Amino acid sequence: MAKESRASRRVFGQTQAAVVLLLPFMAVYVLFLIYPFFRGIWISLHDWNLLAVAFNPDAKEFVGASNYIKVMWGKNITWSAWASPTLQILGAVGVVASVVLHRGRRLSKATALAIGIGSALFFLLPGFHPGEEGRWYDRRFWPTVGNTLLFVGFTVPGVTVSALILAAALNRETRAMSALRTLFFLSQVLSVTVVTLIWQIMFSPRQGLIANITELFGGSPIVWLTDERFAMAAIVITTIWWSLGIAMILFLAGLQDVSTDLYEAGALDNATGMKAFWYITLPNLKRTITLVIVLQIILHFQVFGQSHLMTNGGPNDTTQVLVRYIYQTGFRDSELGRAAAMAVFLFLIMGAFSALQFVLGREEE
Partner 1 sequence: MLNRGYYWLVLALSIPAFVWLVPTIWMVSLSFQPNDVLARTTSSTALGLVPIPFTAENYAALFTFGQTPLWFLNSVIVSLGMTLGVLLVSATAGFALARLKFPLKTPLTVLILIGLMVPEQAVFIPLYTMFADFGWHNSYHALMLPRIAVPIGVFLMMSFFKAIPDDIEEAARLEGVGWLQIFWYVMLPLARPAMMTLAILTFLYAWNDYLWPLVSAQQREYFTITLGLASIQSNFAQSEGLGRVMASGVIASLPVVILFLIFQRYVVQAMTVGGSKG
- The span from the CA of 323 to the CA of 160, in Å, is 23
Site pattern 106..145 for partner 1 (x: CB under 8 A)? ----------------------------------------
Which member of 160, 187, 226, 284 binds partner 1 (CB under 8 A)?
Answer: 187
- The span from the CA of 47 to the CA of 241, in Å, is 41
Angle of the 35-44 helix axis to the 336-364 helix axis, nearest 10: 130
Tally of helices (H runs) and strands (E runs) in the chain: 18, 4
30: left (phi over 0), alpha (psi -120 to 50) or beta: alpha
Q: Which is nearer to partner 1, 20 or 268 (CB)?
A: 20
Q: Contacts with partner 1: how many residues (CB under 8 A)?
A: 95
Question: Is the distance from CB of 247 to CB of 163 less than 8 angstroms?
Answer: yes
- The span from the CA of 174 to the CA of 182, in Å, is 12
Which member of 199, 234, 297, 311 binds partner 1 (CB under 8 A)?
Answer: 199
Q: Which of residues 19-38 bind partner 1 (CB under 8 A)?
A: 19-22, 24-26, 28-29, 31-37
Q: Which of residues 273-302 bind partner 1 (CB under 8 A)?
A: 291, 295, 298, 302
Which member of 142, 185, 230, 279 binds partner 1 (CB under 8 A)?
Answer: 185
Nearest approach in angstroms of CB 69 to partner 1 is 19
Q: Which of residues 300-359 bind partner 1 (CB under 8 A)?
A: 302, 304-305, 309, 323, 326-327, 330-331, 336, 339-340, 343-344, 346-347, 350-351, 354-355, 358
Q: Which is nearer to partner 1, 112 or 244 (CB)?
A: 244
Q: Which is nearer to partner 1, 128 or 242 (CB)?
A: 242
Q: H or E stretch including 76?
A: strand 74-79
Amino acid at 295: L
Q: Which is nearer to partner 1, 32 or 79 (CB)?
A: 32
Q: H or E stretch including 128?
A: strand 128-136
Which member of 90, 113, 246, 289 binds partner 1 (CB under 8 A)?
Answer: 246
Residues whose CB is less than 8 angstroms from the CB of residue 207 and which lie 6 or more positions away in sequence, other chains included? 201
